[in-house]
Amino acid sequence: MNKEEQQNIEEALDDVYGSTIAHYKSKRDRRGNFHAKEKILLSVYLLSLILLLVVHFAFHLDQLPIEKKYLPFFPRLVIGGTLTLLIAIGSLLINIFWIGGISDEAEKHNLQHAISIIRNTALSFVVLSIVYADWYTAFISLGILSIVLGFALQTPILSFIAWIYIIIRKPYKIGDTIQVGEDSGEVVDIDYLDTTVWEIKSSNLMTDHPSGRIIRFPNSNILSTSVFNYSWALFPYIYDEILFFTDYNANFNDISVRLKKIAEEIIGPEQEKEIRAYKEILANTKINVHNINENPEVIFKPSDGSSIQVILLYPVLTKNSGKIKNQITNEILLQNLNSKGIFMA
């Protein structure tokens, strides 16, 4: 397991047993690195802030030639500009020293969205404070506006609430393979109002391959339907199966041995070691690890009076399921042809 996988596992365990902010802080490097663009932005913000402070004091010392009709409005404009710059500097420093130190790109993406919303909300209050003479009037105006928008935008508001739920509870994140209702695919973006997935399997595909289409569904969907996540950090594997038929006179032991050998050779020995490592982690949870098999299995089930179902069951990473199934199936069919048809057509 690489460093990122270990961090994902630690966070998933925290999600199972509860987590604290102090724990997360101890797991992350908070040291920020200034990039050229950020240095330029911070310099511009600081110089503008100094300039506004100079203008503020010059105004109070009657050093600025301002017409009387602008006198009531000018101080609010200067204070509003100062607050705007302080908010911009604060959000930039948070991005550098906190969010910039997070290695998980999906979590970084969500936090950047959250900081953006907080920043924009604060800027809205600043604008209202400039337009209105006092904060009381500004709050009343904002409250009335919120009530009107609340009735008109119920669905978007629910989606926004669901987005907050996604950030806090993390039912999925960018890069996970999920299914929500009839929509399934790999998450490529989580926005305030909707989630975008790269579709896997569709009405015109029977295999677990990307269809080439993008699906966007409202975040509010997760509040009313089950979310299936096939990329859980504590066990990122799923069990897939391939079905064949044989007759009652077949050599079941030979079929079982050969199918397991084919699957093991294609999957590789490294996966078996990784699954054992994940089982050791899961042993610390309430999951029964005895039901988790790191090796392929073959199951025989009576189908009808003339045939037996042969089911090859094997673990595989979700993103590799289509490719691995195709390789195993082709090898089984090839060996079946070369051995005079052990399996029925």
Query: Dihedrals φ, ψ of 187, to 5°?
Result: -70, 125
Which pLDDT score, from 0 to 100, does residue 30 have? 42
Which pLDDT score, from 0 to 100, does residue 341 have? 53
State the average pLDDT over residues 97-106.
Answer: 72
Higher pLDDT, 192 or 342: 192
Model pLDDT for residues 37-64, shown as the tens digit of each residue:
777 888 888 898 888 888 777 766 665 5
Which pLDDT score, from 0 to 100, does residue 20 have? 38
Residue 18 has pLDDT above 60, yes or no: no
CATH number at 197 reads 2.30.30.60
Domain assignment of residue 166, yes or no: no
State the average pLDDT over residues 184-204.
Answer: 86
State the average pLDDT over residues 5-31.
Answer: 52
Residue 17 has pLDDT above 70, yes or no: no
Predicted confidence band of residue 22 (pLDDT cuts 50, 70, 90): very low
**What is the rounded end-to-end Cα distance, in angstroms, of the chain?**
41
Judgement on whether residues 248 and 216 belong to the same structural domain of the protein: no
State the average pLDDT over residues 154-165.
Answer: 85
Which pLDDT score, from 0 to 100, does residue 249 have? 84
State the average pLDDT over residues 163-177.
Answer: 88
Judgement on whether residues 140 and 185 belong to the same structural domain of the protein: no
In terms of Cβ atoms closer than 10 Å to its own Cβ (0-12, 13-18, 19+), residue 14 is: middle
Domain assignment of residue 25, yes or no: no
CA distance 345 to 306: 13
State the average pLDDT over residues 93-119.
Answer: 76
Judgement on whether residues 45 and 148 belong to the same structural domain of the protein: yes
Residue 328 has pLDDT above 90, yes or no: yes
Residue 24 has pLDDT above 90, yes or no: no
Kindly write down the DSSP assignment for every residue of 25-89, as one continuous string: HHHS-------HHHHHHHHHHHHHHHHHHHHHHHHHTT-S---GGGTTTHHHHHHHHHHHHHHHH
CA distance 166 to 164: 5
Reference 223, options 162, 281, 141; nearest CA is 162
Predicted confidence band of residue 316 (pLDDT cuts 50, 70, 90): very high
State the average pLDDT over residues 185-193.
Answer: 89
CA distance 115 to 112: 5
Q: Show the domain range for 122.
A: 31-152
Higher pLDDT, 139 or 332: 332
Which pLDDT score, from 0 to 100, does residue 200 have? 86
Judgement on whether residues 221 and 116 belong to the same structural domain of the protein: no
Model pLDDT for residues 228-273, shown as the tens digit of each residue:
999 888 888 999 999 988 888 888 898 899 999 999 999 988 999 9
Which pLDDT score, from 0 to 100, does residue 180 have? 92
Higher pLDDT, 83 or 286: 83
Judgement on whether residues 35 and 140 belong to the same structural domain of the protein: yes
Q: What is the chain's Cα-based Rg?
A: 29
Number of domains the chain is built from? 3
CATH number at 265 reads 3.30.70
Higher pLDDT, 204 or 97: 97
